[in-house]
Amino acid sequence: MNALSALSLAATETHVPVVAPTDASGPFQLLWLIIALPLLGAAVLLLGGRRTDKWGHLLGTATSAASFVLSLVLFVNLLGRDEGERQISQHLYDWIQAGRLDVGLDLLYDPLSALFLLLITGVGSLIHVYSIGYMAHDPRRRRFFAYLNLFVAAMLMLILSENYVGLFLGWEGVGLASYLLIGFWQHKPSAAAAAKKAFVINRVGDMGLGLAIFLMFVTFGTTSFTGISELSGGATTTTLNWVGVLLLIGACGKSAQVPLQAWLLDAMEGPTPVSALIHAATMVTAGVYLVTRSNFIFELAPTAQTVVVIVATVTLLWGAIIGCAKDDIKKGLAGSTMSQIGYMMLGAGLGVAGYAFAIFHLLTHGFFKANMFLGAGSVMHAMDDDVDMRHYGALQKALPITFATFALGFLAIIGIPPFAGFWSKDKIIEVALTENPIVGICALLGAGITGFYMTRMMLMTFFTKKRWEKGVHPHESPLVMTIPLMVLAALSALGGLMLAGNWIVDWLSPVVGHAEHAEPPLPVIVLTVITIAVVLAGVGLAWFLVGQRDVPRTAPADVSFATRAARADLYGDAINDGLVVNPGKAGVRSLVAGDRTLVDGLFTGGATVLAGTGELLRRLQNGYVRSYALGILGGAVVLVLTLVAVNL
């Protein structure tokens, strides 16, 4: 009741729902177990060492699956509750108490986190299963599963925390797990470098998030969602804009949005299940979660919201363009991920009308992108770990299951009805067009480009002529890998059902608020037709340019400027180098030079002088007792004479 009244009160004042959870009771008291299980798995596998080699992967999968079952049970329970009582908190213990700062380790379970839990544990468990096959021959498989479990636990902490400090703990945890897993094959220098790059760029984002948390604490005196959502109406718009922009910087780092996007393509050095789970389905969407969760900030910070929309629009085109030129199947998918997260971010930036669709697209994307990444992994498995699509071609016969599942993912991502991506992306484009025609047209254009690059990938991999390397004999992957593919393919096909009867919008409205219905500039059905037409144009172009010609086995060099730019990730690294890395290096060089000459000079010079003095003095210590006695006599004479002279 209490929660209900607070909710309606806040809605009349600010139109942003207040987070007002009730204490956990009944099955919800098991909430903490969802995090604890994978964490326990990680601990056992990491501390247990080689003893757990034999069954480590099974334990890892089991803990993740148990978390999924628990999430499902809680979800069903939540469904059974009234709309006003769907926010539940659990206080575990007082974490930090210092002065005004009072941070509890509190969990918050509401419709938003419920959906995330299902996605993370569900897709996570499928990917665990897939990894059993994919990593079967890796001597460090047990460690891989430990890191995966660690990731799942951290991601769940991020999603379930009731305050920003706990969220930050999870945020850093997934960053660590991501670092460990990108660099999992550490014997490859490229993997180690990629891990480092991801880590460093993420630090920039984390700094933004950290500053946002400090600013919120200074402004509101608390870091809990409950407290801030109640108080945010009282803060000035400038403050809220700053908080919003800082939160966005955090989101950009984790979700690979421009300008902090450069790490995601390199992150594909990690094992493919990692790319599927962390760098497609879950972790990289944490930024979208952060913006959605912080709706009580962004709704009151119009400038910050505008910045979110701009960043999202740039990124969705940026990623799509990169995706067009990549020959590496995983990097192509990574560009696509970047672009799709841009869509989600766009939805979240559009405010109350878009939050639900952002989350909806996030879920469907989680299904179809994980599906395609795992499919790519299956292809690589068949092609002796070759990732170059120019060496693929005509694989649909050799890999029938992979082909079929990948094709479902393909149809979903480009947005062909009735597959999942159509429902979610179409809605975002519709809302964008309603709010701002330019952004809407960009989003529409992005959909067309998506159609192009995905078709190109599809054609180069499964159709056209064989361009295989010598000695490669493609074979379908074992069932342990294809069953997750099938499940995800089914979800990619059917995910759109969540929109049936406007369910997901109603489900999320207690968290993100209820949007007034706005009329799009054109009738909805016309917009949908236009969108499908644009997508089909992209598909047709790809079919015409790629499908009807021979694909060269090596990438041609005499290409247009646009292609070259896209191949170079639109010069993302060059921009970083020019703006940050090189000036930084120059600064460090001058500091080092200063340190060498000035500081070291002082110290080594000092040490040399000391040692020299020591050597000189050591000669006085010649071992002759007569010299020692002379020394004592001399000392005594000088002492007495000075004493007398000074005091007379």
Partner 1 sequence: MEFVKPELEYAELLPLLIVLGGACVGVAIEAFVPRGLRRLPQIVLSALVVVGALVATILVGTHLDEHTGAAGATGRGLVGAMGSIVVDGPTIYLWALILVFALGGVALFAEQRLEGGVSAFTGQAAALPGTEGEREASTRGLDHTEVYPLLLFAVGGMLMFPASGDLLTMFVALEILSLPLYLLCGLARRRRLLSQEAAMKYFLLGAFASGFFLYGAALVYGYAGSVTFAGINEAVRAGADNHVLLLAGIGLLAVGLLFKVGAAPFQAWTPDVYQGAPTAVTAFMAAGTKVAAFGALLRLMYVAFGGERWSWQPMLWVIAIASMVLGAVLAIVQSDVKRMLAYSSVAHTGFLLVGVLGVQSAGELADGQYTSLEGVLFYLTTYGFAMIGAFAIVTLVRDAGGEATAYDRWAGLGRTSPLVAGAFAFFLLSMAGIPLTAGFIGKWAVFTSAMSAGAWPVVLVAIGCSIVAITFYVRHIRLMFFTDPHPDGAGTVTRSSLLTSGTIVVCLVATLALGILPGPVLDLVTSAGDFIR
Rounded to the nearest 10 degrees, the angle between the axes of helix 420-435 and helix 329-349 is: 50
DSSP code at position 271: -
Under rule CB under 8 A, residue 605 binds partner 1:
no
Phi, psi of 25 (to 5 degrees): -145, 165
Residues in contact with partner 1, total (CB under 8 A)? 29
Which one of residues 1, 98, 525, 646 is an interface residue with partner 1 (CB under 8 A)?
Answer: 646
State the minimum distance, in angstroms, from the CB of residue 594 to partner 1. 22
Q: Which is nearer to partner 1, 27 or 601 (CB)?
A: 601
For residues 313 and 543, what is the distance between their CA atoms, to the nearest angstrom? 26
DSSP state at residue 96: E
The one segment of 180-188, 246-254, 353-361, 634-642 that binds partner 1 by CB under 8 A: 634-642
Tell me the window of 180-188, 226-234, 583-591, 637-645 that interacts with partner 1 (CB under 8 A). Answer: 637-645
Near partner 1 by CB under 8 A, which window of 271-279, 313-321, 362-370, 622-630? 622-630
Query: What DSSP string describes 424-457?
Result: HHHHHHHHHHHH-HHHHHHHHHHHHHHHHHHHHH
Measured from the CB atom, the residue of 500 and 644 that comes closer to partner 1 is 644
Tokens 């978390």, located at residue: 67
Q: According to the binding rule CB under 8 A, does residue 608 interact with partner 1?
A: no
The 10 Å CB-count burial string (b at 16+, else e) for 26-39 is eebeebeebbbbbb
Binding residue for partner 1 (CB under 8 A) from 58, 96, 524, 611? 611
For position 604 contacting partner 1 by CB under 8 A, the verdict is: no
Q: Which stretch binds partner 1 (CB under 8 A): 207-215, 299-307, 577-585, 618-626?
A: 618-626
**Residues 282-301 contacting partner 1, CB under 8 A:** none
CA distance 91 to 70: 19
Contacts of 460 (CB under 8 A, 6+ apart): 389, 390, 392, 393, 546, 551
Decide: 62 and 121 in contact? Cβ < 8 Å: no
Q: Which range touches partner 1 (CB under 8 A), out of 221-229, 245-253, 364-372, 613-621?
A: 613-621
CB nearer to partner 1: give 139 or 623: 623
Closest by CA position to 391, among listed 552, 559, 556, 566: 552
User: In this chain, which of 190, 237, 238, 613 binds partner 1, going by CB under 8 A?
Assistant: 613
Confirm or reject binding of residue 558 to partner 1 (CB under 8 A): no
CA-CA distance, 490 to 394, in Å (whole number)? Answer: 24
Cα 413 from Cα 405, distance rounded (Å): 13
Give bridge partners of residue 88 from the DSSP assignment. Answer: 22, 109
Select 605 or 631, whichever has its Cβ closest to partner 1: 631
| Shortest Å distance, C-beta 610 to partner 1 | 6
Instruction: Provide, rounded to whole angstroms, the least separation between the CB of residue 476 and partner 1.
Output: 54
**Is the CB of residue 474 less than 8 Å from the CB of residue 399?**
yes
Comparing CB distances to partner 1, the nearer of 521 and 635 is: 635
In angstroms, the CA 405 to CA 493 distance is 10
Among 2, 12, 554, 647, binds partner 1 (CB under 8 A): 647
Q: Do residues 502 and 356 touch, judged by C-beta distance below 8 A?
A: no
> Applying CB under 8 A, which part among 30-38, 259-267, 320-328, 617-625 lies near partner 1?
617-625
Q: Does residue 619 interact with partner 1 by CB under 8 A?
A: no
Q: Which stretch binds partner 1 (CB under 8 A): 41-49, 155-163, 564-572, 608-616?
A: 608-616
Tokens representing residue 82 in the block? 């009234």
Q: Which is nearer to partner 1, 562 or 602 (CB)?
A: 602
Q: How far apart are the first and last CA of the chain?
A: 94
Contact residues: partner 1, CB under 8 A: 607, 610-611, 613-615, 617-618, 620-621, 623, 625, 627-629, 631-636, 639-640, 642-644, 646-648
